[in-house]
Amino acid sequence: MSIGILADVYRETRRLAIAGSVVAPGDFRLQKLIEPLNKLGEKAPVFLRVAQCVEQVIQSSERTASAALLELASLVGSILYTQGTTGVEGELADLPPCPLASSRSQISARLLKPLLAALTSTGSGRLEQIKSAYEMSLFHDLRLVRPALQALDDSYAEIRDFVAQKILPLYGRAILDDLKVAFDIKGNVADGQRLTLIHSIAPEEARELVMKALEDGSKEVKLAAIECLGNSDEDLNYLLQQARARSKDVRAAALLSLARIKSRDAQTHLAKTLDSKDVGLLVRAAEEVAPQDLIAGAVERARSELATLPGVQDTAQQKAAVERLLSLLHIATARLDTAGEQLLMDMLDHASTWSHINSDPGKEDLITLGIKRLSAGSQKGAQYLVSQREMISVENWPAVVFAARRGLEPAQFFQTFVPYLESEPKSKSRTHPRTECIVNHLTGRGDTYCYEWNKRGESPLPPLDPAWLDAAIKLDRMEVVRALASTPNASLHKYLSDKRRTLKTQGKTADDWALARAMLDSRHPEAEQFVLERVRAVKNSSTYWHQTMWTQLGSRLSASAIPELEAMIADPRTNNHFGKELLEAVRTIRNRSQSS
């Protein structure tokens, strides 16, 4: 069959349908096709039918042109549907083998669809969805590979980073080609991440790309490329060159890579940088890599800067000197060793000589940094801070208390700091700031030092001396008692019983709640009764928060409390919020009693 002429007829029909059938009657280009169609019709009648339809369009009036044109379009369309081509010429090559090991796992559409939407669309709550899918190992389904790759371009940086750091490395070489195809040397942060991924998957294959990115890459891509450079002489030369680049970010990335290289030239350059204005750019390198020579060099230079600081009179010069000192101190104490610690102690000893420094940053910044670093250091540093505690400002006291807790024996810590707990309040409404510091440390309320320490997964802090509890009881410090009550104790139980009798509120104050918690923690015989009493009391409260607080404590009750809690749930007067909270509490109690 002569497809060419039919394709021509279709093309003309399409043109007329686009322009409107009003221009179809007498159309010259369509008319020209009638003759060849009739000729072909002698061999195949279908062409005659097409010719007739074309004729009808040509002969039509403005009123009948639409119907005629539609008839022609339908006929030609039907014929062309039967003439679709399929073959593909050329050598059929095998697909390169894919190393994706677990590609066969398949998850249901109900799970897959929202995840695909989270990876490829916008909106809130997507990161949690992606994280939870990652934890459920759903990303082994091959249908998620490309959406995950697409998520590298997500507008939400946290999703981009999570996908780049956690999900895409799962696929290894399987995504290498896709990463290369999508990589744009002039691109943005996402392309920088692509380059980093390519380099981490196949460092040798990535070499060429890295070198090209160094030459022609956009700023973000170039930064990623610099961080991909390694130990070879060529790299070293390049890094040394980039460490003097005009862009600050480029210099920082080059310095970071140089810090990873254990060559003399690299170390020499880093040492030189300590004396330059770029000293601040070395902080990240020191914190991530911590080269010994660099740290030692920073200690030495910091000492000499400290020695000259008292003589600096001009405020602008003070500012520059302090900024430089702060950078040097950050580097010198990146991994706090004896030399660094001694430096900080010497610095704090001489802090009194900086009274003339009025710049910003100024002397307080130096002191705060020194105390902060010492508080996380050795026992010697902690003891130093304790010995200086009266000289140290209230703002820096949390660091002192934290250091003392770490560095002193529990009894010594108690003896040293209990007087502050006993000190008289400044006024009826205002506690002494140092007392507040101790209370905060004992209760864990707002103590960022302890929080950061635990977050980093460091070794647990030494236990507190039991005498703290007695002191808190004696001083009637309910919040401290609540924090320290953990085991049954006669004097504690007596205190809590007395407290319960004197409390007049009905579950609506923090004291009330602290008392209940202390009773539960210390397994007070009246604890369950008290909590149930309070849960009952807040049943009709209009403040949901009170109900939530008390049902949380309710979930710590024993199984014997279940019937009463269930009775409250079933009570039609119980509001929905409270009912749901109680339901959760009952479920927790049941699970706990079943597992025990």
Partner 1 sequence: MSAWRWNDGRDRTGSNMISIDDQYVTSVAPNMDAAKNGRTLVFKRQFKVLRISEDQTVIFGQCQGSGKTPYYCSSDFANPQSPVHRCSCPSRQFPCKHCLGLMFAFVQDRSRFEIAPVPDDLQTKRDKAEARMAKKRVEAVKPKKVNKSALAKKIKAQLEGLDLLQRLTENLVGIGIGNMNAKSAQEIEHQARQLGDAYLPGAQFVLRAYTGLFSQPDGTFNDAMTSTAREAIYSEALDRLSTLHALVKQGRNYLEKRLSDPELAPDTESSIAAWLGHAWQLTELRQLGRVIPDAQLMQLAFNSHDDPARGEWIDTGVWVELGGGNVYTTRNYRPYRAAKFIKAEDSFFQVAQVPELFVYPGDMNPRIRWDTMTARPAETSDFAAVHQSAQRDFAALVKQIKGNLKGPLSEKQPVCLLAFRRLGLVGETFVVEDASGNRLAMTDRGMAEEPASVQLLRLVPPALLRDQVLVSRFRHDLDTGRLEIKPLGIVTADESVRLTL
Q: Which residues bind partner 1 (CB under 8 A)?
A: 3, 7, 13-14, 17-22, 65-67, 69-71, 73-74, 77-98, 100, 103-104, 106, 108-110, 112-113, 116, 142-143, 145-147, 174, 177-178, 566, 569-570, 572, 579-580, 583, 586-587
By beta-carbon proximity to partner 1, the closer residue of 110 and 264 is: 110
Whole-number Å distance between alpha carbons of 43 and 66: 30
Min dist CB 78 to partner 1, Å, is 4
Is residue 259 within 8 Å of 271, Cβ to Cβ?
A: no
Identity of the residue, 95 or 316, whose beta carbon is nearer to partner 1 in the bound complex: 95
Smallest gap, in angstroms, from Cβ of residue 210 to partner 1? Answer: 24
CB of 102 to partner 1, least distance (A): 10
Question: Coil, strand, or helix at residue 185?
Answer: coil
Provide the token pair at 164. Answer: 């780049």
CB of 281 to partner 1, least distance (A): 41
| Distance of alpha carbon 507 from alpha carbon 510, whole angstroms | 8
Q: CA nearest 422: which of 472, 386, 459, 463?
A: 472
* Packing angle of the helix pair 264-274, 292-308 (nearest 10 deg): 20
**Cβ distance to partner 1 smaller for residue 48 or 142:** 142
Nearer to partner 1, 216 or 571 (CB): 571
Residue 129 Cβ, how far from partner 1 at the closest point, in Å? 15
Q: Of 14 and 43, which has the nearer Cβ to partner 1?
A: 14
Alpha carbon distances (Å) from 86 to 83, 95, 138, 222: 9, 20, 37, 45
| Residue closer to partner 1, measured from CB, 78 or 122 | 78
In this structure, are residues 568 and 539 in contact, taking their beta carbons and an 8 Å threshold? yes
* CA 413/CA 276 separation, integer angstroms: 44
d(CA 179, CA 181): 5
**In angstroms, what is the minimal distance from the CB of 595 to partner 1?**
18
Alpha helices in 151-231 (DSSP H): 157-162, 176-182, 189-201, 203-216, 219-228
Torsion of CA 504, 508, 510, 516, to 10 degrees: 70
Alpha carbon distances (Å) from 296 to 327, 332, 341, 381: 14, 7, 12, 19
Q: Is the Cβ of residue 92 or residue 490 nearer to partner 1 in the bound state?
A: 92
Nearer to partner 1 by Cβ, of 50 and 255: the residue is 50
Q: How far is the CB of 92 from partner 1 (least distance, A)?
A: 5
CB of 14 vs partner 1, minimal distance in Å: 6
